[in-house]
Structure 1
Amino acid sequence: MKITQVEAIPFAIPYRKPLRFASGEVHTAEHVLVRVHTDEGIVGVAEAPPRPFTYGETQESIVAAIRKLFAPEVVGTSPLEREVVHARLRRTVGNPTAKAALDMALWDVIGKSFGVPVTDLLGGYTDRMRVSHMVGFAPPEQMVAEAQRMRAEHGITTFKVKVGRQPYTVDVEACRALRAGLGDDVELYVDGNRGWSASDSVRALREMADLGLTLAEELCPADDVLGRRWLVQRSDIPLVADESATRPAEVTRELLAGAATAISIKTARTGFTTSQRVLFQCEGMGVEVVVGNQIDGQIGTLCSVAFGAAYELTSRRAGELSNFLDMSDDLLAEPIRITDGTVQVRQQPGIGIDIDPDKLARYRQDT
């Protein structure tokens, strides 16, 4: 079986409300649908969500990279020649989500060709993942109301709180309001998106020590080398590297430097192949992982579930799998459902992505 064509289709779906966090805000999901075609009629599908304020990619740059740089290198190879494909992709620096989507579409082809779910190919540890919901910048009462609604409607009991505004007032007050409004039977952790300084982070974590936070993610900038190490030495909870650890070499750097004690794995930026390498690094070094979210749509969420459910370590913690609920629509023919706080792996060959052609026609941007 050979790859005959690679498509990069830009599409745009508005969010019901803006998603705000320390590094920026998003009003519309301007993503790219990636489809890999083969000479046997099998088509692999994945999604690339650009985050220009994090990785420098835009919808336009992803489309251009795939169409002009990556597709010519991939066409003619076998989907099983993933190492050949990755060696060719590495000739071009950057473009992490474009590369990741192409990788996951290849895995989708392989799963469909063998007639098994990608989760089983990767490891097959379980058939579902618990869900963590991200609560973004808003007045405290709105953040509490959203979390309460997610618990009531979907059974979600783990919440990631976006911080990075004013640490001693706004951010701490929001976390206190969430703990008071949700009680002690939910898990709370924070994500600063590099919005605090190291000293602010230490003080804020101390002020919230009674809230039972379980993780703190990217509180200060990645290049604050000594400050991050100083913060880790003073934290009683795991410090998660996210934007600072987008490649295996960066994961090694952050862990060996003492700048982090846990790692966020996002299939949207490392696909399945490189996410495996990051996961195995973490297992070997004895650090925890969390399956993160790139503000993925439902396509990207299915990819995250497929990977996270495949391994024991990634399935220990709730994965960040619910941000698609903030989108006004999606491309899937059969929407994802969160039941009792979990999302199930789709028991069909590949990742389980079936695109609704009418929705794709409505939202695509290149026609």
Structure 2
Amino acid sequence: MKIVAIEAVPFTIPYRKPLRFASGEVHEADHVLVRVHTDDGVVGVAEAPPRPYTYGETQASIRAVIDQIFAPELVGLSLLEREVVHARLDRTVGNPAAKSAVDMACWDALGRTLDLPVTQLLGGYSDRMRVSHMVGFAPDGAMVAEAERVRDTYGITTFKVKVGRRPVSVDVGACRALREALGPDVELYVDGNRGWTPSEAARALHAMADLDLTLSEELCPADDVLGRRWLTARTTVPTVADESAVTSGQVTRELLDGAATMISIKTARTGFTASQRVLHQCEGLGSEVVMGNQIDGQIGTACTVAFGAAHRHSARRAGELSNFLDMADDLLAEPLEIHGGELAVRPGPGLGIEIDPDKLAHYRTD
């Protein structure tokens, strides 16, 4: 089970429509396929989605750090030497998506070697998760139409509304339109991607007090320590820390400072190993978690559901597992499918997924 090679293959797949956030927008999925090869001939896979406006990584930087630093440090190690792997990865500062993809590809390779699903290796709690879908930054009618289409087509009844890029009144109006159209049985929550000031966020939450929002995620800048604490103390809507709580130390700070009451776990930035540490940390501190999404493709989504379904604490809430629907295509030989508002973990060893070689040849850019 020794690692003999690590590949970082860049690929680009267009989105059907631009994906917009308060911090930027993307028109193409410029991602990196990471493959870990072992001396037994096993190949584990994962996906690294660069987010330069959030974590500073680009497709080129992910390839460079894997090819030039991580691969030389890890080749020769066993898949079971996870602590050694992470000790060597952690010598390099930052690069969360690159590190996470290497970690998850190692777990996939381990599952394939042992002929066991990664979900069972991680915890084996469930084999599926409820799905949350993201809408936002469009005219009210378009947002409502999309939410209704997703609900009717896929059975999804949990929606995350992107806010923070437009005037507060516009975002509040959009949330109100969604609630009025979808009714009381649909779960709505908001994500500001750090786009509002604390006072703007407080005003928005007050204006939406009658909409039964279940969560408010990262409404203020991640480094606005006092402002975030002030806001969380003045709202009854649970506050989710996302970009402000990437590491275990940041999770501790956010929760003990009173700047957040919940944590978003994204396997695309903490892999399986560090995500499990954050999950157990949150359990010990009495904090709920939600499985987030870094606008992953189907490979990354398969990783998220494999982790989220494996643990009781992360399987309780709907996970953000539908962003791949906005991509024009993907690399999997058998595409993921959402049924009845749920996404099932792929059966089979490892992540249970296979890369279509023809699609990879078509979309790779190296």
| TM-score, scaled to structure 1 | 0.99
2: distance between equivalents of 1:245 and 1:353?
Answer: 29
- Residue of structure 1 equivalent to 2:152: 152
The residue matched to 1:109 in structure 2 has which SS?
helix
* 1:162 corresponds to 2:162: yes
- Residue of structure 2 equivalent to 1:93: 93
Deviation at 1:31, TM superposition (A): 0.1
- Residue of structure 2 equivalent to 1:129: 129
Counting only pairs closer than 5 Å after superposition, residues 247-326 of structure 1 correspond to structure 2 as: 247-326=247-326
- The 1:259–1:164 alpha-carbon spacing in structure 2 relative to 1, beyond 3 Å, is same
Deviation at 1:166, TM superposition (A): 3.6
Superimposed CA distance per residue, residues 89-111 of structure 1 (whole angstroms, 9 cap, x where no aligned partner)? 11100000000000000000111
- Residue of structure 1 equivalent to 2:55: 55
Instruction: Give unmatched runs, 5+ long, in structure 2.
Output: none
* 1:347 corresponds to 2:351: no
Contact residue 167 and residue 200 of structure 1 kept, 8 A: no
Superimposed CA distance per residue, residues 172-216 of structure 1 (whole angstroms, 9 cap, x where no aligned partner)? 000001001111110000000000010111111011010000000
2: distance between equivalents of 1:276 and 1:235?
Answer: 29
1: distance between equivalents of 2:177 and 2:255?
Answer: 33
Q: Deviating runs (4+, > 4 A) in structure 1?
A: none
Superimposed CA distance per residue, residues 232-281 of structure 1 (whole angstroms, 9 cap, x where no aligned partner)? 10010110000000111110111111110000000000000000000001
Deviation at 1:168, TM superposition (A): 3.1
Q: What residue identity is the alignment partner of 2:289?
A: V
2: distance between equivalents of 1:136 and 1:109?
Answer: 37
Superimposed CA distance per residue, residues 37-73 of structure 1 (whole angstroms, 9 cap, x where no aligned partner)? 0110010000000000000000000000000010000
The residue matched to 1:353 in structure 2 has which SS?
coil
Contact residue 117 and residue 349 of structure 1 kept, 8 A: yes
- Residue of structure 2 equivalent to 1:198: 198
2: distance between equivalents of 1:335 and 1:276?
Answer: 26
2: distance between equivalents of 1:99 and 1:134?
Answer: 26
Deviation at 1:167, TM superposition (A): 4.7
2: distance between equivalents of 1:93 and 1:309?
Answer: 30
Aligned-pair identity (%): 74
2: distance between equivalents of 1:213 and 1:219?
Answer: 14
The residue matched to 2:289 in structure 1 has which SS?
strand
* 1:37 corresponds to 2:43: no
* 1:4 corresponds to 2:4: yes
- Residue of structure 2 equivalent to 1:333: 333
Q: What residue identity is the alignment partner of 1:330?
A: D
Q: What residue identity is the alignment partner of 2:231?
A: L
* 1:357 corresponds to 2:357: yes
| TM-score, scaled to structure 2 | 0.99
Superimposed CA distance per residue, residues 209-229 of structure 1 (whole angstroms, 9 cap, x where no aligned partner)? 100000000000011111100
Superimposed CA distance per residue, residues 127-168 of structure 1 (whole angstroms, 9 cap, x where no aligned partner)? 100000000211111010000000010000000000002453
1: distance between equivalents of 2:352 and 2:170?
Answer: 41
The residue matched to 2:352 in structure 1 has which SS?
coil
- Residue of structure 2 equivalent to 1:185: 185
Contact residue 100 and residue 269 of structure 1 kept, 8 A: yes
Figure out how many residues of one structure are paired with residues of the other and give that number: 366
2: distance between equivalents of 1:180 and 1:30?
Answer: 37
2: distance between equivalents of 1:262 and 1:167?
Answer: 26
Superimposed CA distance per residue, residues 262-309 of structure 1 (whole angstroms, 9 cap, x where no aligned partner)? 000000000000000000010000011000000000000000000000
2: distance between equivalents of 1:186 and 1:81?
Answer: 44
Contact residue 124 and residue 311 of structure 1 kept, 8 A: yes
Q: What residue identity is the alignment partner of 2:86?
A: H
What's the Cα RMSD here? Answer: 0.6
